[in-house]
């Protein structure tokens, strides 16, 4: 029997055991109760309340504007839905980089006010102290290396990271450090598959890739992208599992047309 099939509830311990037994971890984002219910029931192991909510839910160009209060609102809805999945919540930009006390306070607010199970934050050595302080309070932390969207103005572009030796070496050191201080998992975003495979083999904690190849211990995608609800964004790593955007558009067009033609409601749809 596999580890994830036996588990009634996915915990950080379960994902660790999944890595040890070679079972891949499926992670997706969700930001609201209804979608999170479907994601949870479909067997996703980890639901990420990502700060991509800033783009997907609020229509911002970057992840920078979303606030801690807004992340907590989304997290509360997802936690209500998740009966099996581990719920991880992004610490938004500006709530953990300043100092470790602020980082701890932000993480505590997320855990206390939403009931989530873990937090995720972006970066390596520059946020080490913040991560240690959060971990010392008993809050599980997921790291995030490679393309870290909260630093988009530093990078200037959303292209693949760590292609050059110097940045790849820094990423390897940061991943080892995140593993050693006790992060329960690390996301690798948009880095060469070979590099992700090498680091995945070197660290004990599970790695979750998005545009980081098949050798990561798990994969994550943004829900609205993989369902085809959002259509403008189509990087090479994104596989679309549906075209819900088109289906929703057709359904709504049909509704508008039926209302205008007085075809809705019909006799059996009224009292």
Catalytic positions, written as ranges: 189
Query: Of 52, 114, 150, 207, which lies in the binding site for ligand KIV, with binding defined by CB under 6 A?
Result: 52
Query: Between residues 59 and 165, which has the closer beta carbon with respect to ligand KIV?
Result: 59
Does residue 45 contact residue 27 with C-beta atoms inside 8 Å?
yes
CB of 180 to ligand KIV, least distance (A): 22
Query: Of 47, 145, 196, 222, which lies in the binding site for ligand KIV, with binding defined by CB under 6 A?
Result: 222
The stretch among 47-55, 195-203, 211-219, 255-263 that binds ligand KIV (CB under 6 A) is 47-55
- Whole-angstrom distance, CA of residue 42 vs CA of residue 36: 10
User: Is the C-alpha dihedral spanning 85, 19, 171, 167 positive or negative?
Assistant: negative
Does residue 149 contact residue 119 with C-beta atoms inside 8 Å?
no
Question: What token pair was written down for 20?
Answer: 């040890």
User: Is the C-alpha dihedral spanning 257, 260, 266, 269 positive or negative?
Assistant: positive
- Whole-angstrom distance, CA of residue 219 vs CA of residue 209: 5
Our finding on whether 227 is near ligand KIV (CB under 6 A) is no
Our finding on whether 171 is near ligand KIV (CB under 6 A) is no
CB of 74 to ligand KIV, least distance (A): 11
Angle at alpha carbon of residue 159, lines to 155 and 162, rounded to 5°:
75
Contact pattern for ligand KIV over residues 82 through 121, marking x by CB under 6 A: --------x-------------------------------
Query: Between residues 211 and 253, which has the closer beta carbon with respect to ligand KIV?
Result: 211
Does residue 216 contact residue 194 with C-beta atoms inside 8 Å?
no
Question: What token pair was written down for 46?
Answer: 């980890």
Our finding on whether 29 is near ligand KIV (CB under 6 A) is yes
Residues 136-165 that bind ligand KIV (CB under 6 A): none
Which residues form the interface with ligand KIV (CB under 6 A)?
29, 48, 50-52, 90, 187, 189, 210, 220, 222
């Amino acid at each position: 029997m596999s580890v994830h099939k036996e588990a009634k509830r996915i915990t950080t311990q379960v994902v660790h055991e999944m890595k040890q037994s070679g079972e891949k971890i499926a992670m997706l984002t969700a930001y609201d109760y209804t979608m999170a219910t479907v994601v949870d029931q479909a067997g996703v192991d980890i639901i990420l309340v990502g700060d991509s909510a800033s783009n997907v839910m609020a229509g911002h160009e970057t992840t920078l504007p979303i606030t801690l209060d807004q992340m907590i609102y989304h997290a509360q809805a997802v936690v209500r839905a998740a009966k099996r999945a581990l719920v991880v919540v992004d610490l938004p930009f500006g709530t953990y980089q300043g100092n470790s006390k602020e980082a701890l306070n932000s993480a505590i607010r997320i855990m206390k006010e939403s009931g989530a199970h873990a937090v995720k934050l972006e970066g390596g050595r520059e946020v080490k102290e913040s991560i240690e302080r959060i971990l010392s309070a008993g809050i599980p932390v997921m790291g995030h290396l490679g393309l870290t969207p909260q630093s988009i103005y530093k990078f200037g572009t959303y292209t693949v990271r760590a292609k050059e030796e110097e940045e790849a070496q820094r990423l390897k050191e940061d991943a080892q450090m995140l593993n050693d201080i006790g992060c329960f998992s690390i996301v690798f975003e948009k880095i060469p598959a070979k590099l992700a495979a090498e680091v995945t083999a070197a660290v004990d904690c599970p790695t979750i890739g998005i545009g980081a190849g098949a050798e990561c211990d798990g994969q994550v995608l943004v829900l609205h992208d993989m369902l085809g609800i959002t259509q403008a964004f189509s990087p090479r790593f994104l596989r679309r599992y549906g075209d819900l955007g088109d289906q929703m558009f057709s359904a709504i067009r049909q509704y508008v047309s039926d209302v205008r033609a007085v075809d809705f409601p019909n006799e059996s749809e009224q009292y």
